[in-house]
């Protein structure tokens, strides 16, 4: 009976460990005022070793590109497009095309014009990550970034 109990407990631990959800990207956010009427929103992705986060600028037919959607507000207006650093470009057999991606840490920036009091930039980032053996389904993360 004691062995059956130990076997059951061990089986439960192994099932629990194998069913953990992979989350290879950690997001962080901040905003910094560059003048009384302008700010830069900084959105940083820290990507686990071996994983790729894809660029905003990808051709159709490949992995899901990273997309930022900003909620409309009377307190701020977007000033231009979200900028990103130069990505790594590589041909991937899986997609049969060149893909643009980032590894380790990538910082995206969005300039905003402040048009009201106490602006809070809200939005969503949709993204997809892959490693050399698998791609995870696209994910969406909501963000809220106070501009101080």
The answer to whether residue 2 sits within a structural domain is no
Radius of gyration of the chain, Cα coordinates, nearest whole angstrom: 20
Residue 55 in any domain: the answer is: yes
Q: Reply yes or no on whether the pLDDT at 15 is more than 50.
A: no
The domain containing residue 129 runs over which residues? Answer: 23-146
| Residue 54 domain-assigned (yes or no) | yes
Instruction: For CA atoms 138, 143, 147, 148, give the dihedral sign.
Output: negative
CB 77 within 8 A of CB 115: yes
* Position 1 in a domain: no
Q: Mean pLDDT over residues 117-135, rounded?
A: 95
Domain contains 9: no
Tell me what the mean pLDDT of segment 52-65 comes to.
94
The pLDDT assigned to 20 comes to 60
In-domain check, residue 98: yes
- The answer to whether position 7 is within a domain reads no
CATH of the domain at 66: 2.60.40.1250
Residue 137 lies in a domain: yes
How many distinct structural domains can be found in the chain? 1
As a whole number of angstroms, the distance between CA 135 and CA 123 comes to 24
**What percent of the chain clears pLDDT 70, i.e. is strictly above it?**
86
């Amino acid at each position: 009976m004691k062995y059956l109990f130990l076997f059951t407990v061990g089986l439960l631990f192994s099932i629990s460990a194998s069913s953990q959800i992979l989350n290879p990207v950690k997001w962080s956010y901040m905003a910094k005022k560059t003048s009384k009427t302008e700010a830069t929103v900084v959105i940083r992705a820290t990507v686990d070793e071996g994983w790729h986060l894809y660029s905003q600028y990808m051709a159709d037919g490949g992995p899901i590109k990273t997309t930022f959607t900003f909620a409309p507000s009377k307190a701020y207006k977007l000033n231009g497009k979200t900028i990103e650093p130069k990505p790594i470009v590589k041909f991937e057999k899986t997609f049969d095309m060149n893909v643009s991606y980032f590894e380790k840490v990538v910082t995206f920036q969005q300039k905003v014009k402040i048009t009201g009091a106490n602006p809070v930039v809200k939005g969503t980032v949709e993204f997809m990550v892959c490693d050399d053996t698998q791609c995870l389904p696209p994910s969406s993360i909501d963000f809220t970034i106070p501009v101080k």
